[in-house]
Amino acid sequence: MVAELLLAVAGVIDGCIKLANKVITTYQSYRGADELINERLVLVQALWTKLEIQLNFLKKISSQLDEELAQSHLDLLEILNGKLLQAVARLNVSTSSPSDDSTLKQKTSEVWRKWRFSLAKKGLDELVTELEAWRSRFDPTWYLIILMSSNTLDTALKETDTKATESTSVCSSPSPLDSMLALRQAISSPKTSFSGESQPKTSLNLDAAGLRGATETPIPFSSARSIVRAGSSSLFIAESVNAPPGTISQVKVDVENLARRLQQVDPQTFGLLRCYGLLKHQDPATKGLKYIEVVYRAPQDANPPMTLRQLLLRHHPVSASAIMRTAKQLVYSISYIHTCDFVHKNIRPDNILVFSDANSSLGTSYLLGFNQFRSTHFQTNLLGDAAWHRNLYRHPERQGNLVQERYVMQHDIYSLGVCLLELGLWRSFVWYPDESQSDTAAPVPGISLGLALSDSHFQKNNTGGDGRLKEHLTRRMKLLAVKSSIWTRMVL
């Protein structure tokens, strides 16, 4: 079964490349005939150059894929193959000839030429849209390859990237393998590359003196703050990482490993801000490490963000497509964190930052709130609390003052489900009587939650979760499912 899957992946890749090259070659016959066609053709060629590099690399290492990853890629490749077949069909219409009658040809030649150019423009527009949409679905799955432990992968990555750099240099665009190489290096030992060669260790540490005179602004409903350094317009985001007593050494290792991975992350693909560096603060009394702050780069020319919580409370109308985009970004963010062997432990609308975006009524979202994250290779603590507005997003096994179960990835998935339900309803489950006093005002259950909750529900000397809250949320999800089959698939 696996062997057949791997052969199918390689075969569909070959088919896609042949179809795409046929489409582009045919469209090139229109080059010079119309300026708008020229512009669209440049876009298609730039998109396809990068995709072809990725597909050739995928084919080269396809024998190393496990069954699940191979099936995931095959499903996406078959979608691409279908889109390219449609493009070929459109071309067949636009390149067909009029009647053989010479008189008719002469009379209709100008009309025919304009009609062909119109079809070509429309076809190129559709192809650009379809390739961009497909790439946005393909990239997160493609990047999962970096987690494979394989010398074959490492060798192929280095060889293919050398050739890819040469081909992409023509369009002055970096090779798509550059990001994979950087991520692969970040995941490997900081002292050696995946090829075993000695590598210089990049410092993650920032000098706190660089923030003197900076303008720092709290982000409502979030533990993070925005920072603009003196004399600069660049925006940064900073947040502290909690270290329970006796855990600072392990927290330091985890934070440094996370920072390396976030230094190489593609923010647009995974909905995670790129790490700029770490601020390490000492205890004045002991001179030992007290806590660590992670500093992130905000998107270029960005204004201070809002949290998803703010947006849910304001309840301004947004398009269904914008909500879906935010939901997908959140899924991709968590997928990346999990594939890097971390658990987030704090997924809530309060920890999702949204930057305004002219292309979206909602904006572009990024998952933050790594205050409690931990590596999956080490046991997480059993510390809990009774705050209902935090327990709302926790799995029943992790609710209450006294937690019985160690944190696992499935607990993050539960939190994700609650957030997706809020997104689907576009209502906040947590309400603050006075939004401007959000840091001090006591939150109350929102009307949309449809359930009376208080801290007393989670003050038992057990896991704090008897399953009733989960059952209630499941019922809410089913009600939403009746209204929207799309959200049924997302939340289930």
* Domain annotation covers residue 375: no
* Domain annotation covers residue 473: no
**pLDDT digits 0-9 by tens, 151-207:** 777 777 777 666 655 555 545 556 777 777 777 766 664 443 334 444 445 678 998
* Domain annotation covers residue 195: no
* Domain annotation covers residue 471: no
DSSP code string of 121-137: HHHHHHHHHHHHHHHHH
Boundaries of domain holding 148: 2-97+108-187
Euclidean distance between CA atoms 320 and 269, whole angstroms: 20
**pLDDT digits 0-9 by tens, 294-314:** 999 999 989 999 999 999 998
Low-confidence ranges of the chain (pLDDT < 50): 170, 189-200, 437, 462-464, 487-488, 491-492
DSSP code string of 175-207: -HHHHHHHHHHHHS-TTB-TTS-B-PPPP-B--
Say which residues have a Cβ less than 8 Å from residue 71's Cβ, sequence separation at least 6. Answer: 5
Tokens of 407: 């944190």
Domain count for the chain: 1
Euclidean distance between CA atoms 216 and 459, whole angstroms: 36
* Domain annotation covers residue 343: no
The predicted model scores a pTM of 0.77
* Domain annotation covers residue 149: yes
Q: Which residues pair with 383 in a beta bridge?
A: 402
* Domain annotation covers residue 192: no
pLDDT at 440: 64
**pLDDT digits 0-9 by tens, 45-104:** 989 998 999 999 899 888 888 888 889 899 999 999 999 999 888 877 665 555 555 555
* Domain annotation covers residue 150: yes
Three-state DSSP at 235 gives strand
